[in-house]
Amino acid sequence: MLEVGYSVPRFDARSKVTGEEKYAADCFPEGFAWGGVKRAGIAHAKIVGIETAPARALAGVIAVLTHQDVPGTNRQGLVHKDQPVLAAEKVRHWGDPVALVIAESRETLARALSLIRVDLEPLPGVFDAEQALRPQAPLVHESGNLLLKGEIRAGKGEDALGECEIVVEETFEVPFQEHAFIETENGVAWQEADGTICMHVSSQAPFRDRFEIAHALGIDPLKIRVSSPYLGGGFGGKDGATVQCLLALAALNSGGRPVKMSWDREESFVAGYKRHPVRMYYRLGARPDGTLHGLHCRLYWDTGPYAHLGGEVMELGMEHAGGPYRIPNTEIEGWCVYTNNPISGAMRGFGVCQVSFAFERVMDLLAKKLGMDPLALRIKNGLRRGDKNCCGVTMVHSTGIVPCLEALGRHRLWTERDEWKRSAGPFKRRGTGIAAVLNAMGYGRGLPDSAIARVELTPEGKIRVFCGVVDMGQGNSNAFLQIAGEILCQDSSCVELVHPDTGRTHPSGSSSAGRTTYTYGNALIRACEELKAKLFHRTALFLMLDEPRGLALAPGAVRHLPTNREVPLAMLGKSFPESDRVCISEYVMPVAQDVPDTGKDFSIGFPHVLFSHAAHIACVEVDELTGKVTVEKYLAVTEGGRIINPQGFEQQVHGAVGQGIGYALMERLMMKDGRILNPDFTNYILPTSLDLPDLDSIAVETVEPTGPFGMKGIGEVGINAPLPAIASAIEDAVGAAVNRAPISAACVLHALSGRERANDADGGVQR
C-alpha cells in the first residue's frame, strides 16, 4: 500500500537500474539529424561577418543558420528578454551561439562547425561585478552593466549599527558552481505535418519553454508542444532555455526531419548556466548580551551577459541575507551586474547558498568576539513563529530553526566534539563547525505559484496522475503517486504517471524553488479527493444506494462497508466516459500578507513567507603537511514540516550536502578573460564516493498546515549549510579564518603555516 509517511521505494528506481528508462538523451527518432552550435570562442566582440558557405557546401549538411534566419524577436529570457537565440551584432560571452548547423551525422556536424568562420572584432571585456560598475567599464549592453539594484530595509537600517556595542565586519567571496548533472542539456524536436513543433527535452519547465520559444521565434505557443521525461539531473541548470529555442529553429529548417541536439560535457560547461559568484561585504552589530541589533550588507552578483534569472536569484539571496535570525534593523543592498563571464542563473539554493556563507561566518565572528558559544548565540537569536525576519516579514508558518539547533546540540557530534578533536592522529588537526540556514519555498509575490493536477480513473481501473511538473531526479513524482495511493487507497501497481507534456498535462510551473511537491501535491490532493467523491457517487449508482455513504476505497475496488459489497475500479472505469472519470484541481501557494514597505525594485519574487530550516555540523580533519581537508563526519538536521517519504527526504538531504561539500572544498571554475580553463570533469572537481563521509540526517518534524500532509520542500535548504559549517570547522582546526570559497588545500596550508591569508594563492587563475 502506498502510505504517506512511509519509505515507499521509488517506483521509478526499477526502470532506472535496469537501463530501461528513456531519458531525452536516449531518444534517437527514426531518420533524425544532428544539430549543433558554433560558439563565439571569445568573451566580448563585435560580429563583423559570418562565413557559412564552406559549411553549407559540405556534403551531409542540411542547413546552416544564423541570426538572419531567426524569425521572431530572436530574444529569450525568463524575465528580461535580452538573450539572443543566435547572436547578431555582438557576442557577450565565450559560449554565445553564433550559428546553428543541422547535419546527417555527428562527424559531419563537427566538420561543418569547424568550417564556419566568424569574423569578430574583439572588444575589451569585463569579468568582475564591481569592476563592471565603474564608469569606464566596457559595456556588455548599451543600456549599461547594471541589471538590477535592489534594497531591503527594515527598522532603522544601517544607522542601527551605530547603536551596537559590538560590530563585526568581513568580506566574503563565493565562486561559480557548475550544476554538473550527468545528463547534459539535450533534446529532440520535429515539425508535425500541421506545423506544430514538437520537442522532447531535458527541461525543468516545459510549459514555460513553450512561451520562450514562441516569443523568440515568433510562433504561436499553442503550435508548440514540449514534453519532458525524467531528467538525468537538473539542480536549476535546466530551468530556462538551453537547447529549446535552437532546437525549435532547427526543426523549422530540417525539412520535417527530427533534429537531435546534445551538448557534450565541454559545451555544457561553456554554454550552460552557473551558480552566481558573489562578493559580499557584511557588517553585523549586536548588544553585549549577544542580541542581534543591526545588519548592513552590500552584495555584488555577477550574472554574466544575460539577465536569465539573475535579478530573482539576487532577490532571494538578499531576502535571506540576515539568515534565520531576528535582526530588527537591516539594510541589505544588492547589485546584479552584467559581465562577460558565463551566464549565471538558477541553482539549488538560488542565491541563498551564497549569502549563507556570509551570515554564518559573521555569526561565528560575533560569537568569538563575544566569547559566546556559537550554538547558544544562534539559538538565542533564532527566528520563532511570530518574529519578523530580516525583511520585516512576519514568520506566520512553521518556523523550525530553533528546534533544529537544539537537536544538533543534543547530538554526540556536538556533545563529544572536544574528545573527538583531541584524538587527531599525527600531522592531523581536527575541528567542528556549525551552520544554521533557511530556504524559502515558492515563487514569492508577483507571480502566482500554482499547479494544476489532473487525475483519472483509467478504463482499466488504474489511477493515472497527469503530472505537469518535471521530476529531475528529486522524486516528486514518487511523492505524487504516494499521495494518490494514500487518498485513493491503492498500491503501486494500480497507480501510474503521465510525464509533463504541454499536450497532455496541465501547466504546473517549473520544477524549482522547493515548490514542486508542495504546490503540485496540494493540487493533487484536491483532485484525488474530488475523484474519490466522484467514484463514491458512481458506486452508489451501481449498488443502488440511497446516497454515497458507508463507502471506502480498497485496492482495486470501492467497498460498501455496511454490506461488504464491492465494485471493482475496472468496472467503474469501463462504465463511464472520460469526463466522469477525470478530476482536475488547482492550487496556489499562499503569499505574505504583510508586505513590508521595501524591496520595491523587485518586480517578482519579494517577499516569501514559507521557509524550511536546517542546522548542520561538520567535523573535519586537516592534514598539516598538505592542507588537505577531509570531512570526517557530518550531520544535517532538517525541518521541513511533515515527511511524505522518509527515504526521499534523506535522499534530498544527502544530495544537497554532497553538492554543498563540493562547493565548499573542491569545485572551482578557473576563468581567464571569460574563458573557462577547466570545462570538463577532469579538472572541474566533483566529489567521488571517496570524498564524502557517511552523512547523517535527522528530521525535526513540524506541521505546516498549508502543506500537502503537512510537508514543505527541503530540496534546497541542505545545500546552504555545508560551506559555512566546513569553513567554521576549518577555522576551528587551524585557527585562521577562511572567507573565500572553494577552500583549497593551498589556502588551508598557507593558513596553517601562519602566513598571510592565502586567498590569492591561486593567483590570476581564479576570477
Partner 1 sequence: MKISFTLNGKSTEVDVAPDRRVVDLLREDLRLTGTKEGCGAGECGACTILVNGESRLSCLMLAAQLEGRCVTTIEGIGEEGRLHPVQEAFIECGAVQCGFCSPGMVISAVDLLGRDPNPGRGEIRRGLSGNLCRCTGYVKIVDAVETAARRMNAASDVKPDAGEKERVVPGAPGQGQRR
Partner 2 sequence: MRNVFQPESLPELWRVFEAHPGASVCAGGTDLLVKMRSAMMNPESIACVDRIPDLRGITTEEGGMLRIGACATHGQIVSDPAVRRMFPILVRAVENLGSPPIRNMGTIGGNICTASPAGDTLPPLYALGAEIELRCKAAQRRMLLKDFISGPGKTCLRQGEILASVRLKPPEGYYNNIQHFEKVGQRNALACSIASLAALLQVASDGVVLKAALAWGSVAPVVMTCPDAEKELIGKPLTSETLRRAAAAARQCANPISDVRADRDYRLEVLGNLLMRLLEVAPESAPARDY
666 lies in the binding site for partner 2 (CB under 8 A):
yes
Q: For residues 421 and 628, which CB has a smaller minimum distance to partner 2 in the complex?
A: 628
Query: Please, which residues bridge with residue 587 across strands?
Result: 451
182 lies in the binding site for partner 2 (CB under 8 A):
no
Query: Please, which residues bridge with residue 699 across strands?
Result: 638
| Residue 400 near residue 639, CB atoms below 8 Å | yes
CB of 722 to partner 2, least distance (A): 16
For the four alpha carbons of 636, 510, 21 and 521, in that order, the dihedral sign comes to: positive
CB of 458 to partner 2, least distance (A): 43
16 binds, among partner 2, partner 1, none (CB under 5 to 8 A by kind): partner 1
12 binds, among partner 1, partner 2, none (CB under 5 to 8 A by kind): partner 1
| Residue 69 near residue 249, CB atoms below 8 Å | yes
19 lies in the binding site for partner 1 (CB under 8 A):
yes
Chain centroid to CA 505: 23
* Cα–Cα distance measured from residue 439 to residue 324, given in angstroms and rounded to the nearest whole number: 9
230 lies in the binding site for partner 1 (CB under 8 A):
yes
Q: For residues 558 and 758, which CB has a smaller minimum distance to partner 2 in the complex?
A: 758
322 lies in the binding site for partner 1 (CB under 8 A):
no
| Residue 197 near residue 222, CB atoms below 8 Å | no
763 binds, among partner 2, partner 1, none (CB under 5 to 8 A by kind): partner 2
CB of 81 to partner 1, least distance (A): 30
754 lies in the binding site for partner 2 (CB under 8 A):
no
628 binds, among partner 1, partner 2, none (CB under 5 to 8 A by kind): partner 2
CB of 760 to partner 1, least distance (A): 29
The residue range among 61-69, 127-135, 386-394, 470-478 that interacts with partner 1, by the rule CB under 8 A, is 470-478
703 lies in the binding site for partner 2 (CB under 8 A):
no
Give me the 651-690 binding string for partner 1, x by CB under 8 A, dash otherwise: x--xx-xxx--------------------xxx---x-xxx
- Give the alpha-carbon dihedral of 551, 552, 553, 556, to 10 degrees: -70
Chain centroid to CA 131: 28
480 lies in the binding site for partner 1 (CB under 8 A):
no
CB atoms within 10 A of CB 289: 9
Place of cell 519553454: 209
23 lies in the binding site for partner 1 (CB under 8 A):
yes
* Cα–Cα distance measured from residue 681 to residue 283, given in angstroms and rounded to the nearest whole number: 37
Q: For residues 474 and 766, which CB has a smaller minimum distance to partner 1 in the complex?
A: 474
105 lies in the binding site for partner 2 (CB under 8 A):
no
Which residues lie closer than 8 Å to 557 by C-beta, 6 or more apart? 566, 567, 568, 569
DSSP H/E element including 482: helix 476-488
689 lies in the binding site for partner 2 (CB under 8 A):
yes
7 lies in the binding site for partner 2 (CB under 8 A):
no
Cell of 313: 536569484
Query: Please, which residues bridge with residue 437 across strands?
Result: 614
In 3-state terms, the chain is what percent helix, strand and coil (to 5)? 30, 25, 45
Place of cell 537569536: 381
- Identify the burial level of 461 via C-beta atoms within 10 angstroms of its C-beta, where 0-12 means exposed, 13-18 middle and 19 or more buried: middle
CB of 699 to partner 1, least distance (A): 15
| Residue 219 near residue 206, CB atoms below 8 Å | no
Q: What angle do CA 546, 550, 552 make, to 5 degrees?
A: 125
Give me the 261-290 binding string for partner 1, x by CB under 8 A, dash otherwise: ---xx-------------------------
Q: For residues 59 and 544, which CB has a smaller minimum distance to partner 2 in the complex?
A: 59
Interacting residue ranges for partner 1, rule: CB under 8 A:
7, 9-10, 12-14, 16-23, 25-26, 28, 179-184, 230-235, 264-265, 472-475, 647-648, 650-651, 654-655, 657-659, 680-682, 686, 688-690, 692, 694-695
Interacting residue ranges for partner 2, rule: CB under 8 A:
425-427, 624-628, 666, 670, 677-678, 681-683, 685-691, 745-746, 749, 753, 761-763, 765
